[in-house]
Structure 1
Amino acid sequence: MSAPLAETLTQLRVGNQKFLIDFYQSSRHLFARWAQRQLRLAAPQAHELLQDTLLDFYDQVADGRLTLMPADLRAHVYGMARLRLAAHVPAHQPLPAAEASRRQRLLAQFNQLGPDCQQVLTYFYFRGYHFEMMGGKMGYANATVARIQKSACLRKLYELLK
C-alpha cells in the first residue's frame, strides 16, 4: 500500500487489481474478527463478504462512481460490507465474461504504451487535470502541446486495441 492514492485509483481503473489482492491478504483476519463480533459471521462467510465487498469497491472505482480514495479505506470497506449484508446482496456475482475480458485487454494495451503516454492519459482521464496543468507537470511548452500529446497517446492506445 505504498503507492500514492491517485496512482492506486489509476491502476484500479485500468484493471490492475493487485492493490485489492494485497489489501485482502493483509486484512482478511482482522476483518473476520470484526465480522464475527459485529455481524455474527463465521470466518469463511466473513472472507467471502470481504471478497465481494472489495469487488464492489473495484466496480465503483472502475465505472467512475468513486473518484477519490477514501481517507480511511478500512473503515470505508467495513461500512460497505455492513451495507451489503443489510441489503442482502447475493454473494459472488462476477463480472460478465465480456466485461472482464475487455478490462484485461485494456490493461494489457495500456501497459504497452510508453511511460510518457501512460502519464499523460493518467493525468487527463483519471486525475482530471486540465491541459494547462498537465502541460506544466509534463514540462510541455503550453497547453496546446499537452492537448496534442494526449490525442497522440489516445490514438496509440486505440491502435493497440484494434
Structure 2
Amino acid sequence: MSAPLAETLTQLRVGNQKSLVDFYQRSRHLFARWAQRKYQLAAPQAHELLQDTLLDFYDQVADGRLTLMPADLRAHVYGMAQQRLAAHVPTHMPLPAAEASRRQHLLAQFNQLGQDCQQVLTYFYFRGYNFEKMGGKMGFPNATVARRQKSNCLRKLYELLK
C-alpha cells in the first residue's frame, strides 16, 4: 500500500476497496504458502481465508472498530486469519443484505456531493481533524467557517439520503 496510511484508511471508510484488492493480488500466493505450511490448507482454501479475512478487516474499518491503520498490514491480516482459524469461523459469511445495501446507498450519495464537501467530511469524520486544522487545510479564514461548511455539507448529504 503505497498511499499514506491515513489516506488508505479514509478511502476504505468511504467504500473504496482498491487497496485491499491490490493487497490480495500481491499477497495471495505468499499467504497460501504460509497457510499450507502452518495449517495444511490447500491453495483455494487459503485464498478463501484471505478473502474473508480482508472482508473482516474492511468491516472493522467501515464501522469504526479500527481507527488507525496498522503499520504492518500483512502481520495484522495474518493474525486475523489465525484468529479465524482458531475460532473455526466459517468462510464466506456475507454482510446482511440490508447492511450491504445501506453502505452502497451511502457511498453513492457521498459521491454525489461536490469535491469540497467530500473533502470537508473526510477531514472531519475520517481523519479526525478539529475545525482549526480543517480550516487551515481547506483555506478557510477561521474555525467557525470550517464548522459551518461541515454543517452545510452534512445537511446536503442528509438531504440526498432522503
| TM bucket, shorter chain | over 0.9
Residue in 2 that maps onto 1:161: 161
Identical pairs, percent? 89
Residue in 2 that maps onto 1:25: 25
Runs of 4+ residues deviating >6 angstroms: none
Following the alignment from structure 2 to structure 1, what is the Cα–Cα distance between the partners of residues 2 and 39?
A: 30
Following the alignment from structure 2 to structure 1, what is the Cα–Cα distance between the partners of residues 127 and 6?
A: 7
Q: Which amino acid aligns with 1:67?
A: T
Residue in 1 that maps onto 2:4: 4
Q: How many residues align?
A: 162
Superposed CA RMSD in Å reads: 1.0
Q: Is residue 89 of structure 2 the alignment partner of residue 89 of structure 1?
A: yes
Gaps of at least 5 residues in structure 2 are none
Q: Which amino acid aligns with 1:120?
A: V
Following the alignment from structure 2 to structure 1, what is the Cα–Cα distance between the partners of residues 94 and 144?
A: 42
Gaps of at least 5 residues in structure 1 are none
Residue in 1 that maps onto 2:141: 141
TM-score of the two chains, using structure 1 as the length reference: 0.96
Kept in 2: contact 1:123–1:134 (CA 8 A): yes
Task: State the shift of 1:152 in Å.
Answer: 0.6
Residue in 1 that maps onto 2:110: 110
- Once the two structures are superposed, what CA deviation does each residue of 1:38-70 show, in whole Å capped at 9, x if it has no partner? 221110110010011001101110111111111
Following the alignment from structure 2 to structure 1, what is the Cα–Cα distance between the partners of residues 16 and 161?
A: 17
Kept in 2: contact 1:16–1:107 (CA 8 A): no
Following the alignment from structure 2 to structure 1, what is the Cα–Cα distance between the partners of residues 51 and 22?
A: 12
Task: State the shift of 1:14 in Å.
Answer: 1.8
- Once the two structures are superposed, what CA deviation does each residue of 1:85-139 show, in whole Å capped at 9, x if it has no partner? 0111111110001110111111111111111111110110011111111111111
Q: Which amino acid aligns with 2:66?
A: L
